[in-house]
Amino acid sequence: MATKKMSRPAKAEWKGFHNVNLTKEDEAAFLTWDAGVIDVYAWLEHLADAGYKVSFDFDPYNQGHRASLYCTQAKMAWAGYTLTAWADSAETAFKLLLYKHDVMCKGVWDIAPDVSKRGTSSFG
């Protein structure tokens, strides 16, 4: 069986965070979206195949679990940026991260100058 050697794509250097804050309306829309069936394992595979690094840790600032999505592919316009979400569980944080990436951003991160402001949601 022939094998094809794949070359490693250029990796992006870290540039900062892509801030997507939730309003109360966004939170309600997320909760409705989250009520559906979401295959988190399929999403993990899809994101890894698309060139994203997914990680989880504890967020001491928000006192909850954080899920992070880092764009590693230098060919993408948002390469080097990280999108995060936090919640009371790692599963909810990951689902919220998916919601931000796929629903709110539609898979395309429009990187804007950092305007640090806290959202009005009970998670983010």
Indicate the burial class of 90 (C-beta count within 10 angstroms; 0-12, 13-18, 19 or more): middle
Angstrom distance (rounded) from CA 70 to CA 90: 17
Query: Is pTM, for the whole model, over 0.85?
Result: no
Strand 52-59 to strand 64-71: parallel, antiparallel, or no bridges (unpaired)?
antiparallel
Q: Which two tokens stand for residue 71?
A: 């764009």
Q: CB under 8 Å to 88, separation ≥6 — which residues?
A: 64, 65, 123
pLDDT digits (tens, 9 = 90+) for 28-65: 999 999 998 889 999 999 999 999 999 999 999 989 99
pLDDT tens sequence across 7-35: 666 778 889 999 999 999 999 999 999 99
| CB contact set of 116 (below 8 Å; sequence gap of 6+) | 19
Domain ranges of the chain: 16-104
